[in-house]
Amino acid sequence: MATFARRLVLDVGAGEVRMGEITPDKKGFPVFTMLRTMELSSDPTKPTEFFPAVLQAVGTLAKEMGIKTGFCSLCLGGPSVFTRVIKLPLTDPAQVEQMVGFEAQQAVPAIEEACWDFQVFPPGQAGAAELEALIVAMKRETVTETMAAASAAGIKTDLVDLAPTALINAFRYQYPEVESCTLVLEIGARATNILLIEGKKIFCRVVPLGGASVTQAIAADLQESFAGAEVLKKAKGFVHPGGSYEEPADEQAARISKLARGVMTRLHTEVERSITFYRSQQAGGRPTRVLLAGGGAALGLTDLFFRDKLKVPVEYFQSFRRIAIGPGVNRAEIGKNFPSWASLVGAGLRALPDSPCKINILGSEQKAAANRTKDLPAMVAAGVGLGLILLLPGIHGFWQSARLQAVISPQTAEVEEAEGVLTQVTAEQKKANDILNLANQALSLEGDRMRWPLLFDELRSKSLPGLWVTSLKLAESASGSEGGGVATKTPANTPAVPVLEIGGFFETQSEAADAKVVEDFRLALSSGGILQNVTTTKRDNPERVDGKTEQVALRFAMRAEWPVGGVVPVEAAKKPAAK
């Protein structure tokens, strides 16, 4: 088995924080050498109480486990997790990322305030004409605050996974032999992850119902605080079987069981809706088995309730079915609530090179910052080594100078000292020039680096529904003309303006609508301030019979000047230069 590096894993749930360490054994198989958990003594529905509790819990776990510094994988879940399965045509892999990006712009709400990523899955059947991609996202504020809590404990985060994709990795590794449709139901504190996995098909949905919903129902009905209701739920709570079962002697327990059944009934309704949607949209089947996970699944008779409702076998997710546990792990602590470890195990398995979901919702800037921090020790060591190398000639020179001073007459001492000072000044001047050149190169690279992100933002903001940009490239010559016209002469002291070639597809509707969507996109780019002299060089116009055509998408191409520093306004361009 391919090996992997040691990895810390931090799973932050609404009710508990779990931390572990996964390492490869001698044969490369994963082993959890450390596992610890801590409950959060706060109301998960109140963010003002939640994040201080997370900060305290992470610091305590890191101290108890002896973790001082290091990078870790962070797993997050909850009702703010967004998931969407989309279908894509079989096309060039280089275009898939662009197509998913355009779909995410329309699917993810307030995408500029979210961290998101996607995973493409292979076709579910041989000869299928479509791919399936899973888009996942979470509020950037939640991700940043949780990373700050981990950073305060000395734990640097370079990878952020989400609970739904972590569950996919855990299921694929723990149950490799299962090909039939399986429902994985992870009941957390504030949300439930509903996953339908059938062969290579994946369906995922997050609903805002969980163990905290039962606690809130108990608190409202019995006039208790959230903390008091949580204690009652753990001491007396179970899901009422329904029907003609005998009521428990404890009236409070009987009332709590009925409140729990009400919440589970609402959850079952959402599960049935998910199954119906999966079967209609992805041609899937009904689940033949249910696997329960999450801390909320530990409520008594939850498995009996879903077995009665769904009429299929119900089992608890075995998080450590095929993963070894180190001798230093307290197995009694794991057994207290073993269904809740599924997300942490899946996030740990993300480190394996063959894991099916390689999700990391950190933005490119955050990933780059994490990589720079990773490389800092090596950079310091390289700097020290380079400094020693640069000092060696100086040390050697001083040694030679000492020998010469003992031989040469004292009359030449002042001359040699002056020559040595001159040599040092020349060397320092050369170093200063080298540093200045590096600074100029860095400024130039920074300017070039920002041009493409600004261009991508411009194309994304000006893109219209039913139109996709699939190719961007710079023309070989920026001074040529289109359509056989006479080339424009550029003054010798004026740099040539780069010419950008834009290609893509647009959804055909009618001849008039086809022309309008391309022209509207051209006008939008012309008025954006990034591109100028935008012209349409190609627009497919298929043969139509009675105004209809068999083609679904048509090609278009444009050329535009892309001046460095943005488009100069017409008035400024016409204004004569000051003498």
Is there a single domain that holds both residue 37 and residue 92? yes
Q: Which of 44, 51, 55, 57 is nearest to 14 (CA)?
A: 44
Is there a single domain that holds both residue 82 and residue 119? yes
Percent of residues, the chain, with pLDDT higher than 70:
82
What's the rounded Cα separation, in Å, for the pair 68 and 489? Answer: 65
Is there a single domain that holds both residue 180 and residue 242? yes
Question: Greatest CA separation found in the chain?
Answer: 117
Is there a single domain that holds both residue 441 and residue 326? no
Q: Half-sphere exposure of 175 toward its Cβ, with a 13 Å CA cutoff?
A: 23
CATH number, residue 307:
3.30.420.40
Are 303 and 314 a contacting pair, CB within 8 Å? yes
Task: Please give the average per-residue pLDDT across 552-577, as a whole number.
Answer: 69
Is there a single domain that holds both residue 443 and residue 474? no
Are 203 and 282 a contacting pair, CB within 8 Å? yes
Q: Mind listing the pLDDT tens digit for each residue in 405-452?
A: 665 656 666 667 777 888 888 888 888 888 888 877 777 677 677 788
Is there a single domain that holds both residue 229 and residue 312? yes
Beta strands in 25-92 (DSSP E): 30-39, 70-76, 82-89
Q: Is residue 251 part of a domain?
A: yes
Q: Which helix (H) or strand (E) holds 539?
A: strand 532-539
> Which amino acid does the sequence have at 542?
P
Is there a single domain that holds both residue 347 and residue 404? no
Is there a single domain that holds both residue 315 and residue 366? yes
Residue 275 CA to its chain's centroid (Å)? 27
Are 529 and 567 a contacting pair, CB within 8 Å? yes
- C-alpha distances (whole Å) from 438 to each of 329, 435, 445 are 51, 5, 10
Q: Which band of pLDDT confidence, cut at 50, 70 and 90, is reported for residue 487?
A: very low
What's the rounded Cα separation, in Å, for the pair 542 and 505? Answer: 13
Is residue 120's pLDDT more than 70?
A: yes
Least confident of 82-86, 189-193, 558-562, 575-579: 575-579
Q: Is residue 566 part of a domain?
A: yes
What's the rounded Cα separation, in Å, for the pair 18 and 59? Answer: 12
Is residue 573's pLDDT more than 60?
A: no
pTM: 0.64
Helices 364-407 & 413-462, crossing angle to 10 degrees?
A: 170
Domain count of the fold of the chain: 3
Q: Is residue 1 part of a domain?
A: no
Residues 6+ apart with CB under 8 A from 263: 209, 213, 214, 217
Of the candidates 450, 477, 509, which is a domain's last residue?
450
Q: Is residue 392 part of a domain?
A: no
Q: How many helices (H) and strands (E) does the chain have?
A: 14, 18
What's the rounded Cα separation, in Å, for the pair 339 and 34? Answer: 17
R_g over Cα of the chain: 32
Is residue 579's pLDDT more than 60?
A: no
Q: Is residue 41 part of a domain?
A: yes
Structure tokens at 465: 């529904």
Percent of residues, the chain, with pLDDT higher than 90:
50
What's the rounded Cα separation, in Å, for the pair 101 and 360? Answer: 15
CA-CA-CA-CA torsion for 97, 100, 102, 105, nearest 10 degrees?
Answer: -120
- C-alpha distances (whole Å) from 389 to each of 381, 383, 385, 399 are 12, 10, 6, 16
Is residue 89's pLDDT more than 60?
A: yes
Is there a single domain that holds both residue 419 and residue 350? no
Is residue 493's pLDDT more than 70?
A: no
* Per-residue pLDDT at 374: 47
Is residue 476's pLDDT more than 80?
A: no
Strands 155-162 and 130-139: unpaired
Is there a single domain that holds both residue 354 and residue 487? no
Residues 6+ apart with CB under 8 A from 149: 12, 51, 54, 55, 58
Q: Is residue 390 part of a domain?
A: no
Is residue 577's pLDDT more than 50?
A: no
Q: Which band of pLDDT confidence, cut at 50, 70 and 90, is reported for residue 187?
A: very high
User: Per DSSP, what are the bridge partners of residue 160?
Assistant: 74
Q: Is residue 391 part of a domain?
A: no
Max avg pLDDT among 181-185, 358-362, 415-419, 549-553 = 181-185
Is residue 88's pLDDT more than 60?
A: yes
* Per-residue pLDDT at 373: 45
Is there a single domain that holds both residue 313 and residue 432? no
Is there a single domain that holds both residue 260 and residue 405? no
- C-alpha distances (whole Å) from 410 to each of 239, 283, 419, 439, 500 are 101, 98, 15, 45, 71
Higher pLDDT: 491 or 451? It is 451
Are 22 and 116 a contacting pair, CB within 8 Å? no
What's the rounded Cα separation, in Å, for the pair 173 and 169? Answer: 6
Task: Please give the average per-residue pLDDT across 361-374, as a whole number.
Answer: 55
Q: Tell me the residue range of the domain where 290 lies.
A: 7-370
- C-alpha distances (whole Å) from 241 to each of 51, 233, 256, 293, 309 are 36, 16, 12, 20, 11
What's the rounded Cα separation, in Å, for the pair 388 and 380? Answer: 12
Are 143 and 164 a contacting pair, CB within 8 Å? no
Q: Is residue 457 part of a domain?
A: no
* Per-residue pLDDT at 357: 93
Q: Which band of pLDDT confidence, cut at 50, 70 and 90, is reported for residue 17?
A: very high
